[in-house]
Structure 1
Amino acid sequence: MSITNEPSIMQFLAERVHEDQTFKNKLHQVIELSKADSQASQAASNAISILIQAGVHFNGADLQGVRVPKADLTGGQFDSAQFQGADLTGANLTMSWIWQADFSNAQMAEVQFGELPSLQESSPVKCCAYSSNEQKFAVGLWNGKIRLYDTITWKVRVLHGHRSAVSSISFSCTGNQLISGGDDSTVQIWDPQEGKVRVRRKVLLCKATCVAFSPKDQHVALATEQYSVGIWNVKSDKDFVLRGHTAPVTSVAWSPSGHQIASGSRDGTIRLWNSETWILSLVLNSIASPASGVCCIAYSPDGRRIVAGDDNGELKLWNSMANELEHSMKGHYSTVNGVTFSKDGQWIASCSYDKSVRLWDAKAHVGVSIMNGHLNPVYDVAFSPDDLQIVSCSSDRTVRRWDVSTKGASLASHIDPGEVSIVAYSLDGQYILSGYQRLRKWDALTGASTSLRLDLPITCMAFSPSGCQIATDSGDVTSNIWSRNIWKDNDIRLWHSQTGVAEDVLCGHTDRVTSLAYSPCGRWIASSSCDKTLRLWDLHNALQVLTLKGHIGEVNAVVFSPDGLQIASGGADGTIRLWQPDTGDCTVVLKGHSRGVTAVAYSSDNLQIVSSCKAGSIRLWQVESRTSSVLHGDDEGMIWSASFSPCCKWIAATFMFARQEEDDDYEALRLWKVDESGNWLSKTVPQGLFNFVSSVAWNPFFPNQFVTGFWDRSVSVWSLAEEQDDADVSLLW
């Protein structure tokens, strides 16, 4: 009997794997038994599904000849695994990592990979749309071209008309017309059959961010950056403007009946307009925070609900008849760029800057599948008219097609629901911590992991030198109850690293904690905060001993020198300050960055400091002379982190959206190595391996090993060697 379709049983058994080593070993034995005994195939399928659910890695594993038909291997780590001669009939490999895995002579009939063949484009893809009869599929490109596909033969016709990026496209309800809005401030209506422009109008002083036909094809609605919605009567060729928003309008959508039009804006509201009188009928206050805005909206097929995606990565489901928020759905870590309902109203698909596509149950308000594969931000998403496929387009120049029949296959989010935003090694190099919405502890050698069950979002953490304690911030939680304690989001929490039991709370900061560092002796913790201060804490009594003031603005980073005699901090004011930990005096102010400092790190010999900033620059400072050199100049990307390897020969830095121009490749991790003359040389890393790295940390014990945390929730350990101009990187697990 298969148990893969029993979520509660699978979750229970996956949790038991973490608690009972004997049970875990028996599951492995059952898988091994299936190689020789075909009668064990069902048990082996259940066993490997449970282990994958529990987060057990099979990178490099000898799985030759295993019999695991219909196993749920969703999200599994199988890089370099040996599957020769295995029976994988009907297995689900959706979202699995199978880089360099060997499937020679394996039985793979009906294996589900969750993705259909993708479309390769010549330019980043901004938008996509199906015609209602499913005969045509169109994509808008950054180079101003529209590519129109015949969905039966997938032959393509290129439409030329826009002089810059096509930001939005939409078919008329009959499918006989296609409208496009571009960054060249024009709106164009095309004949999809002839591939020619019927009407071209320059109706705006700024670009149209979204265009949509009314259900009767009589009107076109245009979202503009001028805080307004344009309405164009296609038949009479007259137009007028709906005003009321106080920020750029990002999206427009017609209700299925055509009696209402909705507009979403960066001002955080959704405005509903009567399409007969063009009078504002209702305002939905989409967000609580004025710092975020509505990025995309869509009506449900019955017109009763509106889903909106915002800058915070949340989806909000509204009652379109009243200012009533039905539910908020969290999953994306970054801006939601596109949302859409399936035609039957059962599902919602969303896409985001976090390069993922997610599928949600519109009635249960829960995520059921995460579709990874894009290397860059995903800008638009659409269901096929028969609801059997999802298409998504990205600045990685691809349009990917996903099989919706694999939805719900993975329950991995019940075990580890959050993306990995930070990683850290223990001082002895034996363990790795990763965290964002949940903290996990990994065996650095084998990749085996255990959840510490700290189910609160965190943005910074540190291992004590002894490895027995973990310090974390309180994330985005305003208040939470844990072991009868109540913490604020500006507290620091101390945990036992083996059990995850709360040990103490350090209270004092008046705003969010941004960085934490233990002193080399383990007695002190330094913390930085958005309250413009650093604070020093004595762990003998869990009391604050010093408040360090000097930065103008929030303090983003703090670190002890290897000898413990100095503290370095980086702030939003662009300065790095050096402090005496015994007196709290600021002894040196280092200036050179043009924008806020995001990271500071000492070399292990105490002679240098590397720092990074939001403008994309990296500077190398000599501690004694207080001089600096530029390792990397200002770029269009923001640098999250920069750090030395323990041998002081390498520097690693993680970039956010570096160089997103049309003809450039996205890089998320860069490496430098010092030569014999003391010059730091940039080393090329393999393309595609390190896209969307959120964090990197060096192994203190093996100086050429490092761990990366990715936004898709994966953690990987790598070995590094130099080979002329390139960095020879090999995956360990």
Structure 2
Amino acid sequence: MKLTWLSSVENAHDDSVWACTWVPATDDRQGLLLTGSLDETVRLWRHNDGLARVNTLTGHCLGVVSVAAHPSGRIAASASIDSYVRVFTVDGNDTIATLDAPSSEVWQLQFNPQGTTLAVAGGSSASVKLWDTAEWKLNATLSIPRPEGIKPSDKSGNKKFVLSVAWSPDGRHLACGSMDGTISVFDVARAKFLHHLEGHNMPVRSLVYSTAPLDKRVLFSASDDGQVHIYDSEGKTLIASLSGHASWVLSVDASPDGAAIATGSSDRTVRLWDLKMRAATQILTNHTDQVWGVAFQPPGGTGVRNHLLASVSDDKGISLYSYS
């Protein structure tokens, strides 16, 4: 497995780029890259020989910190530290819904694999809200419980701040990463907390489940402690800890073939990790500032053998790589 640099866009936004995801292809359009920036905009990009900007979408009054694409490829959502989530059509930029999340900023969001629910991490509200995508009504609020051993009198409210969310491949479970380093796993249908996954001692910035058919219980986490953890999310077991980044690990994503993960870090690098070797096989240094997001294009966009990886950074740029 290998990442090959294809192209970069300098000054892709007017400020730091903190979020990226791929919008699935539709019958009449190829897949697009969606990016969100502290310049308060969301931008869409088409890949041909390089990245070409398709549209700039506005609507937030503070920086955009997370973006998510619906499995249909028709709609997407952006979250901002202005405490609002904007849901919009990808091709027309029509606002479908505006989800209010006071009194807490929204940090990360993700549609479930079926496209029926949008999970929104509520930051300092210490909860994740589940929104029905048919009528955009609030279905449930999942409150992050206090880890065992912490007394109610402890001044740890800020430690429960929710930073990251990830859906299991079947949509049954939702994992949430918090400021205190714990990961909470929920049964979504019952809106029930199941257990914590422990091992990190600093904020968990990013989570993703494995894409390998036989490893659907496997969860990857990225943390400010510089570690990438591999968990059996149902067995509550830490399988492995991957070391190598020199600073915070801000983002993690799983390759479409399930054989690798990519990470972005405040050490300004993107790393490709071989999951069999449990080691980084490539270190890419295209960015000049911390890398906030990495995202593999899902299957179906670029053929069977080659897939795209995008990375975004505080340097305002986007880099694109071929994964093969």
| TM-based fold match above 0.5 | yes
Q: Give 3-state SS (helix, strand or coil) of 1:209's partner.
A: coil
2: CA distance between counterparts of 1:329 and 1:210?
Answer: 24
Q: Which string of whole-angstrom CA distances, capped at 9 and with x for unpartnered residues, describes residues 314-346 of structure 1?
A: 100001221111110001111111001011111
Q: Give 3-state SS (helix, strand or coil) of 1:312's partner.
A: coil
Out of 217, 226, 229, the position equivalent to 2:128 is 229
2: CA distance between counterparts of 1:203 and 1:341?
Answer: 29
Question: 1:538-577 alignment to 2 at 5 Å?
Answer: none
1: CA distance between counterparts of 2:244 and 2:269?
Answer: 10
Q: Which string of whole-angstrom CA distances, capped at 9 and with x for unpartnered residues, describes residues 103-131 of structure 1?
A: xxxxxxxxxx9422212312211101111
1: CA distance between counterparts of 2:323 and 2:31?
Answer: 19
Out of 193, 214, 218, the position equivalent to 1:305 is 218
* Residues 126 and 380 in structure 1, CA contact (< 8 A), matched pair in contact too: yes
What amino acid maps onto 2:6 in structure 1?
Answer: L
Offset, 1:136: 1.2
* Residues 255 and 296 in structure 2, CA contact (< 8 A), matched pair in contact too: yes
Match of 1:130 in 2: 22
1: CA distance between counterparts of 2:316 and 2:231?
Answer: 33
* Residues 110 and 120 in structure 2, CA contact (< 8 A), matched pair in contact too: yes
* Residues 43 and 53 in structure 2, CA contact (< 8 A), matched pair in contact too: no
What amino acid maps onto 1:242 in structure 2?
Answer: L
Question: 1:447-486 alignment to 2 at 5 Å?
Answer: none
Offset, 1:245: 4.2
Out of 204, 208, 233, the position equivalent to 1:294 is 204
- Whether 1:242 aligns to 2:142 is yes
Out of 204, 217, 226, the position equivalent to 2:102 is 204
Match of 2:311 in 1: 392
* Residues 282 and 323 in structure 1, CA contact (< 8 A), matched pair in contact too: yes
* Residues 85 and 106 in structure 2, CA contact (< 8 A), matched pair in contact too: yes
Q: Which string of whole-angstrom CA distances, capped at 9 and with x for unpartnered residues, describes residues 151-198 of structure 1?
A: 347242011111111100010111111011101100011100112221
Question: 1:230-379 alignment to 2 at 5 Å?
Answer: 230-239=129-138, 240-246=140-146, 247-287=160-200, 289=201, 292-301=202-211, 302=213, 303-379=216-292
Aligned residues, how many?
291
Question: 1:676-691 alignment to 2 at 5 Å?
Answer: none
Superposition TM-score, scaled by structure 1 size: 0.39
Out of 139, 147, 150, the position equivalent to 2:43 is 147
Q: Give 3-state SS (helix, strand or coil) of 2:107's partner.
A: strand
Offset, 1:311: 1.2
1: CA distance between counterparts of 2:16 and 2:248?
Answer: 18
Q: 1:245 to 1:166 in 2, by over 3 A?
A: farther
Q: Which string of whole-angstrom CA distances, capped at 9 and with x for unpartnered residues, describes residues 358-410 of structure 1?
A: 000122211110000211111000112345332100010100112334xxxxx
Higher strand share: 2
Q: Give 3-state SS (helix, strand or coil) of 1:169's partner.
A: strand
Question: 1:165-204 alignment to 2 at 5 Å?
Answer: 165-204=63-102
Q: Which has the higher contact order (CA 8 A, sep 6+)?
A: 2
- Whether 1:119 aligns to 2:15 is no
* Residues 145 and 160 in structure 1, CA contact (< 8 A), matched pair in contact too: yes
1: CA distance between counterparts of 2:122 and 2:67?
Answer: 14
Offset, 1:212: 0.4
Q: Give 3-state SS (helix, strand or coil) of 2:115's partner.
A: coil
Q: Give 3-state SS (helix, strand or coil) of 2:61's partner.
A: coil
Q: Larger C-alpha radius of gyration, 1 or 2? A: 1
What amino acid maps onto 2:229 in structure 1?
Answer: K
What amino acid maps onto 1:169 in structure 2?
Answer: V
Name the % identity.
28
Offset, 1:244: 2.3
Offset, 1:218: 1.2
* Residues 101 and 122 in structure 2, CA contact (< 8 A), matched pair in contact too: no
2: CA distance between counterparts of 1:245 and 1:275?
Answer: 15
2: CA distance between counterparts of 1:241 and 1:117?
Answer: 41
Q: Give 3-state SS (helix, strand or coil) of 2:205's partner.
A: strand
Offset, 1:132: 2.5
What amino acid maps onto 1:186 in structure 2?
Answer: Y
Out of 145, 156, 163, the position equivalent to 2:54 is 156
2: CA distance between counterparts of 1:282 and 1:390?
Answer: 32
Match of 2:321 in 1: 402
1: CA distance between counterparts of 2:287 and 2:259?
Answer: 25
Moved over 6 A (4+): none
Q: Which string of whole-angstrom CA distances, capped at 9 and with x for unpartnered residues, describes residues 463-484 of structure 1?
A: xxxxxxxxxxxxxxxxxxxxxx
2: CA distance between counterparts of 1:299 and 1:344?
Answer: 13
Q: Give 3-state SS (helix, strand or coil) of 1:154's partner.
A: strand
Out of 274, 281, 296, the position equivalent to 1:383 is 296
1: CA distance between counterparts of 2:24 and 2:209?
Answer: 16
Higher helix share: 1
1: CA distance between counterparts of 2:165 and 2:297?
Answer: 20
Q: Which string of whole-angstrom CA distances, capped at 9 and with x for unpartnered residues, describes residues 81-109 of structure 1?
A: xxxxxxxxxxxxx9xxxxxxxxxxxxxxx
2: CA distance between counterparts of 1:398 and 1:187?
Answer: 24
What amino acid maps onto 2:15 in structure 1?
Answer: S
Match of 2:156 in 1: none
* Residues 270 and 286 in structure 1, CA contact (< 8 A), matched pair in contact too: no
* Residues 245 and 267 in structure 1, CA contact (< 8 A), matched pair in contact too: no
Offset, 1:275: 1.4
Match of 2:115 in 1: 217
What amino acid maps onto 1:234 in structure 2?
Answer: T
Offset, 1:282: 2.4
* Residues 208 and 221 in structure 2, CA contact (< 8 A), matched pair in contact too: yes
What amino acid maps onto 2:239 in structure 1?
Answer: E
Offset, 1:236: 3.6
Question: What root-mean-square deviation, in Å, do the aligned CA atoms of Structure 1 and Structure 2 show?
Answer: 1.8
Q: Which string of whole-angstrom CA distances, capped at 9 and with x for unpartnered residues, describes residues 443-475 of structure 1?
A: xxxxxxxxxxxxxxxxxxxxxxxxxxxxxxxxx
